[in-house]
């Protein structure tokens, strides 16, 4: 059993969208004999990008999984999305991989999401390899990419091969470790050739550098190296592998997935140097008391698994994808969801292969498997054979943009909420809430494309068409002037009448104080039992302000005088009197409009700070200060919510996708006069319409 685990590999293909992760995966599957033709993203016929939304956009939206075997090794490839809109689907999968292959565009080099993926590798302490792809393209450059990867991935990069030829003439490579050169035909078959004469010096220098880098990892080898003794290839390989496993550096390979160049090098590297689940070793969990517990990849131990993804099918139900961390799972059985404290039963064990699902009879530690129709299990949950331990789940990525959503047909009101609830189970990058004040349902995600793709998915899976719009801003109203007025309600035309009379003082309060009500009635001019009714009348009226119907805040009302009738007065009469008094006061208390101000933290490369600060000023923002973190600048500012509702795409275009931001509500502040007038006119016009 342990031999089977020893030959397992779980490799996540990571990096920026468009670098060629899916194309590389398709080339590997074709070369390994899993497929009988080379799938192409542009033609929409890939094994990995099979969902209609992925075919339409020609990009990965979800992480897809498939296995291949090569030289008695079984490798699970995870093709993760590289677009920032869908990166949350990648981030949840990285912890269950044992290593990461960073696929780099040989023309553009590492980009924003490569940096994000690199940060995830460091966070999870995962070994990695850099695969510089598209080296057959115009303006591609292996050396430039390697230099850029050092800062993007924050790791030493050690090339293990060099390209022969550039751009259109890229036709082969030199393996630095073995000192062999290979040329490839159109089908990816390698023929051994002599190292080109014009590369001999470069290769000799690279080999010297390689040996030095590896020797530094081992005292015995370093001593040999310094004394000029020859280090054997076997000695180099053993120390090199240990360096890879310890993530001391990332090796670099040169490829062209479309020309099938270097695919064999990728195969051999994964088999020979990437970690198995046994190499990855123990996982850390917590028990019921919060104490740390070690979980080993032992096939004889009790079962423990971590759910890292969920697929929702309207017909087949929920599919839970998890990694077996310890123990051996059979084809059916009872398990405990420790996170939900719920007993679950499964009757079929599945292996995911692109859009296909294969039934399997057992799963060892390190296996990526799925089961259907678990009643309570969701992404991030821990499953065990009965032991109450939990694997910590990575925090979901915070949403950066929000939209108001509604069904196109009023008849679909209930259906849309049910559909979104199911999609939320599948996509941890989404959040849903109901804004009672604006009466809108708000869906938040990682970008406009993320929300639009969710709408497409809901239409396809649940046949509900959805409209998306910019959310309404929850404005407030308050007062600038202290005023005393009367509120009198009198209906006495025969029979039992209504009479309520009160005098109130309305005065402004400091920002953030809300609403206060003070009873200063003396001498019983208004009986005590009617005072709460006056307050209720004021409160009710203040929810619809005088300017544009927004709730009023930060004011105090003091009731200090009034009168009553022994027969005709009632709670309802005094509630109406309180409401009239508030409306009378609001007319003359210099009402002003308030807007929500957000505290925004923008993390950008240093060369973008000037643009960002200028943009903040144009949004009526106030920059509070700057901090530094990981070679990036963090700009903290206060910005009106209305000015930053669609900030995510703007930030992306200003920083080439390298900027990120978070925001949270800070306080309400007064809207400038001219703008206030326009907002009031617009809101009142919308109400009339």
CATH number at residue 568: 3.30.230.10
Q: d(Cα 638, Cα 666) in Å, to the nearest integer?
A: 8
**216 occurs within a structural domain:** no
The CA-atom distances, in angstroms, between 71 and each of 263, 268, 402, 514 are 14, 9, 49, 71
H/E run at residue 385: none
> Residue 218, SS3?
coil
**207 occurs within a structural domain:** no
Average pLDDT over every residue of 580-595 = 93
Phi/psi for 645 (5° steps) reads -60, -35
R_g (Cα) of the chain, nearest Å: 33
| Cα diameter, the chain | 118
Give yes or no for residue 207 having a pLDDT over 90: no
Among 320, 234, 307, 224, residue whose Cα is nearest residue 272: 234
Q: d(Cα 110, Cα 133) in Å, to the nearest integer?
A: 11
Instruction: Please give the pLDDT value at position 689.
Output: 72
The pLDDT-based confidence of 353 (bands split at 50, 70, 90) is: confident
Give yes or no for residue 68 having a pLDDT over 80: yes
The percentage of the chain sitting over the pLDDT mark of 70, rounded to a whole number, equals 96
Among 214, 362, 376, residue whose Cα is nearest residue 310: 376
Same domain, 45 and 169: yes
Q: d(Cα 461, Cα 624) in Å, to the nearest integer?
A: 46
**221 occurs within a structural domain:** no
Give yes or no for residue 409 having a pLDDT over 80: yes
**Among 551, 566, 589, which residue terminates a domain?**
589
The alpha carbon dihedral of 143, 146, 150, 151 has a sign of: positive
In whole numbers, what is the pLDDT of the chain averaged over residues? 88
Q: d(Cα 47, Cα 377) in Å, to the nearest integer?
A: 27
Please tell me which residue, 86 or 170, carries the higher pLDDT value.
170
Q: What is the CATH number of the domain that holds 344?
A: 2.40.30.10
> Residue 237, SS3?
helix
**338 occurs within a structural domain:** yes
Q: What is the CATH number of the domain that holds 456?
A: 3.30.70.870
Phi/psi for 646 (5° steps) reads -115, 40
Give yes or no for residue 40 having a pLDDT over 80: no
Instruction: Please give the pLDDT value at position 652.
Output: 84
Give yes or no for residue 649 having a pLDDT over 90: no
Strands 157-159 and 250-254: what pairing? parallel
Instruction: Please give the pLDDT value at position 438.
Output: 78
Q: d(Cα 504, Cα 486) in Å, to the nearest integer?
A: 6
Give yes or no for residue 623 having a pLDDT over 70: yes
Q: How does pLDDT run across 92-103, given as a tens digit for each residue?
A: 899 999 999 999
Q: d(Cα 459, Cα 474) in Å, to the nearest integer?
A: 29
Q: Which of 13-27, 364-378, 580-594 has the lowest mean pLDDT?
A: 13-27
Instruction: Please give the pLDDT value at position 1.
Output: 60
Average pLDDT over every residue of 65-75 = 91
Q: d(Cα 525, Cα 565) in Å, to the nearest integer?
A: 10
The four Cα atoms 361, 363, 368, 374 give a dihedral, to 10 degrees, of: 70
Q: Which of 75-79, 405-409, 522-526 has the lowest mean pLDDT?
A: 405-409
Same domain, 94 and 185: yes
Q: How does pLDDT run across 441-452, given as a tens digit for each residue?
A: 888 888 888 888
Instruction: Please give the pLDDT value at position 592.
Output: 94
Average pLDDT over every residue of 544-563 = 92
The CA-atom distances, in angstroms, between 135 and each of 19, 144, 147, 563 are 11, 12, 15, 89
**447 occurs within a structural domain:** yes
Instruction: Please give the pLDDT value at position 426.
Output: 86
> Residue 322, SS3?
strand
**Among 428, 451, 469, which residue terminates a domain?**
469
For residue 113 the two structure tokens come to 């999401």
Among 485, 489, 592, residue whose Cα is nearest residue 545: 592
Same domain, 515 and 409: no
- For 594-614, give the secondary structure using H, E and C: EEEEEEEEEEEEHHHHHHHHH
Q: d(Cα 689, Cα 675) in Å, to the nearest integer?
A: 21
Q: Quick one: angle between helices 263-273 and 21-31, nearest 10?
A: 80
For residue 235 the two structure tokens come to 């000695």
**Among 469, 493, 527, which residue terminates a domain?**
469
Q: How many CB atoms lie within 10 A of CB 687?
A: 9
- The beta strand positions in 408-552, using DSSP E, are 431-435, 440-445, 466-469, 476-479, 483-491, 498-508, 515-519
**214 occurs within a structural domain:** no
Instruction: Please give the pLDDT value at position 585.
Output: 94
The alpha carbon dihedral of 244, 367, 374, 301 has a sign of: negative
Q: Which residues 6+ apart lie within 8 Å of 322 measured at CB? A: 96, 305, 306, 307, 308, 368, 369, 370, 371, 383
Give yes or no for residue 54 having a pLDDT over 60: no
Q: How many CB atoms lie within 10 A of CB 272?
A: 14
Q: How many domains does the chain have?
A: 5
Strands 128-133 and 99-105: what pairing? parallel
Average pLDDT over every residue of 237-266 = 93
Instruction: Please give the pLDDT value at position 42.
Output: 60
Tokens 């590369």 identify what position? 199
Same domain, 143 and 270: yes
Same domain, 58 and 167: yes
Among 594, 589, 556, 593, residue whose Cα is nearest residue 480: 589
Give yes or no for residue 60 having a pLDDT over 70: no
Please tell me which residue, 373 or 60, carries the higher pLDDT value.
373
**224 occurs within a structural domain:** no
Same domain, 557 and 636: no
Q: Which of 330-339, 479-488, 576-585, 678-687 has the lowest mean pLDDT?
A: 678-687
Q: Helices marked H in 227-310 — which ranges?
A: 233-245, 263-273, 277-280
Domain that holds residue 632: 595-688
Instruction: Please give the pLDDT value at position 445.
Output: 87
State the DSSP string of 493-511.
Answer: SSSS-EEEEEEEEEEE--T
Q: d(Cα 72, Cα 392) in Å, to the nearest integer?
A: 33
Q: Which residues 6+ apart lie within 8 Å of 500 measured at CB? A: 487, 488, 489, 490, 530, 533, 534, 562, 564, 569, 570, 573, 574, 575, 576, 577, 578
Among 411, 469, 459, 405, residue whose Cα is nearest residue 434: 405
Q: What is the DSSP letter of 154?
A: T
Q: d(Cα 445, Cα 432) in Å, to the nearest integer?
A: 9
Same domain, 79 and 134: yes
State the DSSP string of 37-68.
Answer: S---GGGT--SS--SHHHHHHTS--S-EEEEE
Phi/psi for 74 (5° steps) reads -110, 120
Q: What is the CATH number of the domain that holds 122?
A: 3.40.50.300
Among 168, 164, 148, 106, residue whose Cα is nearest residue 131: 106
Same domain, 29 and 148: yes
**233 occurs within a structural domain:** no
Same domain, 67 and 150: yes
For residue 648 the two structure tokens come to 């995510």
Q: How does pLDDT run across 484-498, given as a tens digit for each residue?
A: 999 999 987 766 789
Give yes or no for residue 619 having a pLDDT over 60: yes
Q: d(Cα 680, Cα 683) in Å, to the nearest integer?
A: 5
Q: Which of 163-167, 226-230, 666-670 has the lowest mean pLDDT?
A: 226-230
For residue 602 the two structure tokens come to 């923008």
Same domain, 75 and 186: yes
Same domain, 377 and 504: no
The pTM score is 0.80
Instruction: Please give the pLDDT value at position 572.
Output: 94
Average pLDDT over every residue of 199-216 = 88
Same domain, 175 and 323: no
Residue 179 backbone zone (phi > 0: left; psi -120 to 50: alpha; other: beta):
left
């Amino acid at each position: 059993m342990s031999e089977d685990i020893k030959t397992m590999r779980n490799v996540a293909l990571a990096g920026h969208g468009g670098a060629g992760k899916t194309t590389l995966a398709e080339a590997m599957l074709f070369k390994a004999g899993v497929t009988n033709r080379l799938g192409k993203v542009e033609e929409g016929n890939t094994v990995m990008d099979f969902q209609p939304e992925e075919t339409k956009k020609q990009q990965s939206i979800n992480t897809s999984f498939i296995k291949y075997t090569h030289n008695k090794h079984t490798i699970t490839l995870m093709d993760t999305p590289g677009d920032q809109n869908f990166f949350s689907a990648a981030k949840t999968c990285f912890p269950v991989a044992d290593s990461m292959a960073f696929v780099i565009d040989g023309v553009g080099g590492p980009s924003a999401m490569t940096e994000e993926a690199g940060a995830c590798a460091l966070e999870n302490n995962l070994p990695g390899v850099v695969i510089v792809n598209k080296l057959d393209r115009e303006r591609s450059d292996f050396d430039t990419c390697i230099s850029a990867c050092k800062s993007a991935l924050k790791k030493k990069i050690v090339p293990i091969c060099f390209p022969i030829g550039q751009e259109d003439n890229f036709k082969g490579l030199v393996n630095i470790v073995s000192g062999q050169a290979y040329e490839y035909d159109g089908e990816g078959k390698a023929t051994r050739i002599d190292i080109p004469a014009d590369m001999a010096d470069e290769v000799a220098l690279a080999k010297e550098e390689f040996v030095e880098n590896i020797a530094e990892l081992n005292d015995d080898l370093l001593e040999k190296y310094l004394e000029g003794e020859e280090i054997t290839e076997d000695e180099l390989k053993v120390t090199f592998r240990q360096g890879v496993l310890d993530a001391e550096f990332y090796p670099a390979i040169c490829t062209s997935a479309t020309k099938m160049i270097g695919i064999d090098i990728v195969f051999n590297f994964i088999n020979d140097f990437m970690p198995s689940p046994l190499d990855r070793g123990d996982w850390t969990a917590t028990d019921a008391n919060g104490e740390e517990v070690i979980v080993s990849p032992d096939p004889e131990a009790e079962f423990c698994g971590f759910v890292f993804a969920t697929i929702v099918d309207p017909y087949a139900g929920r599919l839970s994808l998890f990694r077996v961390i310890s123990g051996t799972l059979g084809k059916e059985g009872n398990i405990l969801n420790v996170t939900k404290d719920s007993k679950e039963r499964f009757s079929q064990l599945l292996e995911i292969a692109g859009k296909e699902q294969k039934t399997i009879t057992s799963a060892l530690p390190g296996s990526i498997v799925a089961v259907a129709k678990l009643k309570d299990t969701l992404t991030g949950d821990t499953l065990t054979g009965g032991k109450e331990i939990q694997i910590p789940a990575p925090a979901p990525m915070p949403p950066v943009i929000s939209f108001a959503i509604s069904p196109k047909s009023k008849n679909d009101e209930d259906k849309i909420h049910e559909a979104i609830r199911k999609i939320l189970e599948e996509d941890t990058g989404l959040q849903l809430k109901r804004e009672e004040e604006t009466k809108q349902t708000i869906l938040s995600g990682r970008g406009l494309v993320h929300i639009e793709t969710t709408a497409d998915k809901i239409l396809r899976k649940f046949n509900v068409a959805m409209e998306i719009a910019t959310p309404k801003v929850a404005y407030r109203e308050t007062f600038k002037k202290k005023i005393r007025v009367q509120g009198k309600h009198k209906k006495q035309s025969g029979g039992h009448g209504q009479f309520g009379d009160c005098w109130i003082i309305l005065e402004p309060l400091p920002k953030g104080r809300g609403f206060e009500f003070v009873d200063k009635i003396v001498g019983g001019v208004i009986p005590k039992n009617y005072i709460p009714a006056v307050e209720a009348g004021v409160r009710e009226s203040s929810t619809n302000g005088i300017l544009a119907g927004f709730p009023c805040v930060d004011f105090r009302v003091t009731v200090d005088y009034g009168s009553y009738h022994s027969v005709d007065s009632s709670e309802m009469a005094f509630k109406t009197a309180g409401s009239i008094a508030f409306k009378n006061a609001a007319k003359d208390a210099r009402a002003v409009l308030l807007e929500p101000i957000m505290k925004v933290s923008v993390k950008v490369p240093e060369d973008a700070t000037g643009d960002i600060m200028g943009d903040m000023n144009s949004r009526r923002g106030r920059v509070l200060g700057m901090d530094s973190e990981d070679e990036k600048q963090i700009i903290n500012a206060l910005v009106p919510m209305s000015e930053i509702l669609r900030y995510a795409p703007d930030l992306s275009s200003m920083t080439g996708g390298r900027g990120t931001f978070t925001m949270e509500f800070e306080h309400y502040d007064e809207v400038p006069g001219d703008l206030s007038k326009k907002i009031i006119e617009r809101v009142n016009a919308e109400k009339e319409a």
